[in-house]
Amino acid sequence: MMMTNSTLEFERLLGKAALALWPDLPRDVQENLFETAVAGDIGMGKHLASYLHDHHPKTAHPATPTQLAQ
């Protein structure tokens, strides 16, 4: 199926909106969007995960502890 310019533009707009709202989305919605976006492409999943971790504090890796808890 050929994509029309309108379809590509709508995908771009929805993707832009999803990225803008990402930090405010519930975790299950984030996970569903992520899985749908990468559709099982492990390499792309790693790239997208890295991008999200780098750009959104809510999905950032936790800080490395500097000392052991007592």
pLDDT in tens, 13-51: 999 999 999 999 999 999 999 999 999 898 999 999 999
**Both structure tokens of 51:** 């991008």
Quick one: 22 exposed, middle or buried, by C-beta within 10 A (0-12, 13-18, 19+)? middle
Q: How far apart are CA 18 and CA 30, in angstroms?
A: 9
pLDDT exceeds cutoff 60 at 1: no
Which comes out higher in pLDDT, residue 57 or 26?
26
Beta-sheet strands, E only, within the chain: none
DSSP H or E stretch at residue 2 = none
Q: What global pTM score does this model have?
A: 0.70
pLDDT exceeds cutoff 80 at 69: no
Domain ranges of the chain: 26-56
| Angle (CA) 27 28 30, round 5° | 60
